[in-house]
Structure 1
Amino acid sequence: MEVHDGAELCFPQLLNTSCRKPLTSWSVVVFLRILLSSLSVLTVALNVLVVISISHFRQLHKPTNLLLLSLSVSDFIVGLVFMPGEILRKTSCWFLGDLLCSLYIYFATIALCSSVGNIVLISVDRYVIICDPLQYPTRVTVGRVKLCIFMCWFCSSLYSSYLVKDDSLQKDTYFSCYGECALMVGHTLAFVDLILAFIAPVTVIMVLYLMVFVVAVSQARAITAVTLQHSVTVTSRKSELKAARTLGVLIAVFLMCFCPYYCVSFAGGDILNTSYGILVPCLFCFNSCLNPLIYALFYPWFRRAVKIIVTLQILQAGSREANVL
């Protein structure tokens, strides 16, 4: 790699082995850093509230909420690790070394993969409770949900370890330059990643929610036809349908935030290699920020729990038993 101006290099003393600094104006870099740093802080703060709410209040220790808790933990890591790392990678040179680069890629990949896995688990949970409600209490138990969550994170960790290992092998084979932190994988692994991390999960999600939608519509029509003497049952089914709609919004937001990255990446767009390219992968973090806001809009228990937390009533004795439902 030949250069003409040492001031353009991340490490001028290394000459031809150094990467170039991002060619972006100072004002654009400042704007991106302020915007995305604020988004990162907001993502972390909102997901901390979700984690505290579900972990603290006993009434919320239910299978569906445990899945939401797992999703919030992955969203928290996205806001804490993925977003700051992307800001640093795209708006400046990487001065933290190869070890921290590998650790960043490892934890960011775990968070993103577990987010996808948690969304799939939530889809399965909604499918069972809507399409087979009588069997839901026996088929979806707290123990089974915890096992599924563990397997989700375990598989994400294994997959991330393999990506980091392959990344190291690629860098040893095809050296680029010093001053960058990029995930380098072969074409075969990139195709496998596209299948496993996007196409397969999205297909499962879409099929499950199509079936849930059909059943939910038929149940909604049945609810309007029942008599008043079944009001308790009607209220219960309305609650389940509302939960299905809420998680449907959750998945719609997920698809809108994840699709642009994979579409651009699959098309081979060069925008991902520019400073502006940070906006595409950081839609991941925007999704992680929107999830708690969806809870706040659709779940009254979350609003009540947040009120208790911010007013410090959570520090009072017996607050774990508070009625938030």
Structure 2
Amino acid sequence: MQTQEKEAGLCFPHLQNSSCRRSGRPPAESMLMYITLSSMSVLTVALNLLVIISISHFKRLQTPTNLLLLSLAVSDFFVGLLVVFQILLIDGCWFLGDVMCVGYYIVDYVITSASVETVVLISVDCYVAICEPLQYFMKVTKRRVCISVSGCWIFSFLCVFIVMKDNLRQPGRHNSCYGECVVVFDQFSGLVDILFFFIGPVSVVVVLYVRVFVVAVSQARAMRSHPLSVHGSARVTLKKSDLKSAAGTLGVVVFVFILCLFPSYSASLTGQETLIDAVSAAFMFFLAFFNSCLNPIIYAFFYPWFRKSIKLIMTLGVLKADSRDANLM
């Protein structure tokens, strides 16, 4: 009887002492985690798919700023799909082999890194829109945005081979037992990850948004003092609502992004990741994942065009021949 109970607690009972043990969570707790993660995965995939369809289908929505949001939505969409693999790990067992384990972490690293770089581009876009409005349409073009976004994804893809080089040479080398899925970064890889995908991007974002805030406040004061002047010859009208939409919405996206990813990166930065208990680790994962679900909700709250596009998509209005030319702005 004891032997059967022992084998039931193993990921691979036939391997006995070589197999990892299951987490041993109560059935009710495991079921709650299954339902929560599954629901959030479906919601994240569905909401970001709406963003992808909206910007990809409607020509009027394919502005430089929205192309950046499209890149972020693509990464968030894949985050929602990757949660399926986390659901498989609820019981503490990985059944897909060492190669798939490394492949999972590679995809996760690429999309997370690309998200961070895209957030930096969003900050730059907001900075130019607020601080250099007369030159915005000359500096920020669709072509430049597409090149920048492609560069972010390519850079993330190249960096993953630097960071994961040891794990790629011998998948599963850091596993202590069968059924475990672990990758380990060496000191150099960890330094590259922290510098290029946390310290560097966060520093750039903070500096840009401090500048944006200062300029936005000064412009708002100028418009209150001289409501009919300022840039009239260039046919540029900067309203308070425009400033709020540009700086406010993108600012919320960037702030929420940093807030959700800060705990996990700060643990790595301080070298405390090995001291984190299971509850804290689960919370940090949930927070990082929840960000991908929050972004489309932020768009729906702040952007009228997104709400209009959702209505057209849900009512199958996108199937009409002239729907691509609909004006949703």
Q: Is the 8 A contact 1:8 1:20 kept in 2?
A: yes
Q: Residue 249 of structure 2: which of 238, 241, 246 is its match?
A: 246
AA paired with 1:32? M
Question: C-alpha offsets along residues 277-315 of structure 1, whole Å, 9 cap, x if unaligned?
Answer: 333123222101100011001011111111111111110
Instruction: Could you tell me which runs of 5 or more consecutive residues in structure 2 were left unpaired when the two chains were aligned.
Output: none
Which one of the candidate residues 316, 324, 329 is aligned to 1:312?
A: 316
Q: Answer yes or no: is the 8 Å Cα contact 2:172–2:181 preserved in 1.
A: no
* CA displacement at 1:87 relative to structure 2: 2.3
Gaps of 5+ in 1: none
Q: Check if 1:17 corresponds to 2:12.
A: no
Alpha-carbon shift at residue 193 of structure 1 (Å): 1.5
Partner amino acid, structure 1, of 2:248: R
Are residues 145 and 164 of structure 1, via their aligned partners in 2, closer, same or farther at CA, if it must alter by over 3 Å? Answer: same
CA contact (8 A) 1:130 1:241 kept: no
- Give the C-alpha shift of residue 275 in structure 1: 6.7
1:66 aligns with 2:70: no
Q: CA RMSD in A?
A: 2.3
Residue 321 of structure 2 aligns with an amino acid whose one-letter code is A
Check whether the contact 1:223–1:234 (CA below 8 A) recurs between aligned residues: no
Distance of aligned partners of 1:196 and 1:6 in 2 relative to their CA distance in 1, 3 Å threshold: same
Deviation per residue, 1:78-102 (Å, 9 max, x gap): 1112x22222224331001122212
Partner SS, residue 89 of structure 2 = helix
Q: TM-score w.r.t. structure 1 length?
A: 0.91
Partner of 2:98: 98
Q: Report 1:119-268 matches (<5 A).
A: 119-169=119-169, 174-228=174-228, 233-236=236-239, 238-265=241-268, 266-268=270-272
Give the structure 2 partner of residue 278 of structure 1: 282
Partner of 1:293: 297
Q: Is the 8 A contact 2:47 2:293 kept in 1?
A: yes
Separation of aligned partners in 1, 2:279 and 2:94 = 13
2:134 aligned counterpart, secondary structure: coil
Deviation of the 1:207 alpha carbon: 0.7
- Name the SS of the counterpart of 1:134 in structure 2: helix
> CA offset at residue 172 of structure 1?
6.4
Report if aligned partners of 1:260, 1:280 keep a CA contact under 8 Å in 2.
Answer: yes
- Identical aligned residues as a percent: 47
Q: Give the match's secondary structure for 1:178.
A: coil
Shift of 1:273: 6.4
Give yes or no for contact 1:6–1:12 (8 Å, CA) kept in 2. Answer: yes
Q: 1:280 to 1:87 in 2, by over 3 A?
A: farther
Partners of 1:45 and 1:289 lie apart in 2 by 9
Q: How many residues align?
A: 322
Separation (CA, whole Å) in 2 of partners of 1:276 and 1:12: 29
Change (3 A) 1:108 1:273: farther
Assess if the C-alpha contact under 8 Å between 2:129 and 2:246 holds in 1: no
Deviation at 1:244, TM superposition (A): 1.1
1:90–1:277 Cα contact (<8 Å) kept? no
Aligned pair in 2 of structure 1 residues 55, 272: CA closer, same or farther (>3 Å)? farther
Higher relative contact order, structure no. (Cα contacts within 8 Å, ≥ 6 residues apart): 1
Q: CA deviation at 1:226?
A: 2.1
Question: d(CA) in 1 for partners of 2:12 and 2:227?
Answer: 76
In structure 2, relative to structure 1, the CA distance for the partners of 1:168 and 1:273 (3 Å cut) is farther
- TM superposition score normalised by structure 2: 0.90
Give the SS at the match of 2:285. coil
Larger deviation, residues 11-20 vs 216-225: 11-20
Change (3 A) 1:6 1:187: farther
